[in-house]
A = this chain, B = another copy of it.
Amino acid sequence: MAKKELRIGLVGYGFMGRTHTNGYKRVGDFFGELEYKPVLQAVCGRTEDKAKAFAEQWGYASYETDWKKLIERDDIDAIDICTPNDQHAPVAIAAAEAGKMVLCEKPLARTTEESQPMVDAVEKAGVPNTVWYNYRRVPAVTLAKQIIDSGKLGKIFHYRANFLQDWTINADLPQGGAGLWRLDATAAGSGVTGDLLAHCIDTALWLNGSIKDVSAVTETFIKERMHNLTGKKEKVEIDDACTFHCHFENGSLGLFESTRYARGHKALYTLEINGEHASIRWDLHDLNRLEYFDHSDESQVRGWRTIHITDGDHPYMDHYWVPGLCIGYEHTFINQVADFLRSLQDGTPCPPTFRDALETAKVCDAVLKSARERSWQDV
């Protein structure tokens, strides 16, 4: 059976450009039953040499150096945005207006204000859209969602999440430019809040529902860094660390923390949910496992279960290997591509949509405002 083509135009060829492309290239091998197949039509980047080299290494049929031209092309069905955050809005809006589907790297944009028109644009155009909050598609996290939806946890009391890194402790690390735009507030919008907590918030909203209000504190430990774009020492405007507590609509308390100054942790995204009857824990450094405690177990042998999420009846895992064999970080993107293709097939949205991601933006904005004003903020 001939598959329908989904011709991809990728904007940006950095770390995320690679993870998305890998998703497109591999989905057919593992999800052979899907009607659609992605086609790597074009990659777009400002530096011609690099765009060309990326196209060659990863197998794009062509390249562009101006994203507006990419969007004008008739042979592109979907625009995938992997640029720094400040380019998300203009590209996404133009793509939607040109009738393209839009897949946007997270966070949706730098602020709610910048995000809202993106939502409006895709909804007005009626184009399929999704945001790459990829951790929803870690099989263990997807299973957590299924367990929660089954009612096994009962009333929720606590939700907590951390995202701990240590890569910016060195004061000699500059800000700005390729690979370091995450330290540059103009490009990134914020620091760990938009980069890391946004992931934690997206998962939390999905697993535990809406957040009502937040109280936050942020810190910038290193106040000035050399700026790669200006060549001068400049004030660091991003948040190096952020913690907040919050109330969820369901009555539970939330506690979130993120930092790039937690020596010893590389990308330690950890979450835990405590319900009346059961609890769940997960961390990204050991992503194939879910920890689960069920109070209904016989009391003498009741304990935290460490479940190796590699069996055929675990989410997504019937598409990979055999029990006990780990998958990795990159499979979250393959899974999201598969779900996106399936959503085209079914005519249903592929969450998180732009509208879903707007909620995360609102929480991030409330967090940053709370930190600035040292007061509770409604979301």
Q: Using a CB–CB distance below 8 Å, which chain A residues touch chain B?
A: 15, 18-19, 21-22, 25-26, 28-29, 32, 57-59, 143, 146-147, 157-158, 160, 164-167, 169, 215, 217, 219, 221, 241, 243-245, 247, 251, 253, 255, 257, 259, 261-268, 274-279, 284-295, 297, 299-308, 310-311, 313-314, 320-331, 374-376
Contact residues in B for A28 (Cβ distance below 8 Å): 57, 59
Which of B251, B253, B299, B329 is the one whose CB lies under 8 Å from A311? B299
Beta-carbon nearest neighbor of A370 in chain B: B215
Which of B19, B32, B157, B217 is the one whose CB lies under 8 Å from A262? B157
Contact residues in B for A305 (Cβ distance below 8 Å): 297, 301-305
Q: Are B264 and A293 in contact (CB under 8 A)?
A: yes
Chain A interface main SS type: mixed
A202 CB to nearest B CB, Å? 18
Beta-carbon nearest neighbor of A165 in chain B: B324
Most chain B CB inside 10 Å of its own CB: which residue of A25, A143, A262: A262
Seed contacts A147-B300, A215-B215, A266-B323; 12 additional CB < 8 Å A-B pairs: A25-B26, A29-B58, A157-B259, A164-B274, A255-B255, A263-B275, A291-B303, A300-B307, A301-B307, A303-B306, A328-B328, A374-B376
Q: How far is the CA of A287 from the CA of B289 in the complex (A)?
A: 12
Contact residues in B for A217 (Cβ distance below 8 Å): 215, 245, 247, 253
Q: Are B302 and A304 in contact (CB under 8 A)?
A: no
Q: Are B374 and A158 in contact (CB under 8 A)?
A: no
Beta-carbon nearest neighbor of A274 in chain B: B262
Contact residues in B for A169 (Cβ distance below 8 Å): 157, 276
Q: How far is the CA of A37 from the CA of B247 in the complex (A)?
A: 52
Contact residues in B for A58 (Cβ distance below 8 Å): 29
Q: Are A308 and B285 in contact (CB under 8 A)?
A: yes
Q: Are A32 and B19 in contact (CB under 8 A)?
A: no
Contact residues in B for A279 (Cβ distance below 8 Å): 262-265
Contact residues in B for A15 (Cβ distance below 8 Å): 321-322
Q: Are A257 and B255 in contact (CB under 8 A)?
A: yes
Contact residues in B for A303 (Cβ distance below 8 Å): 289-292, 305-308
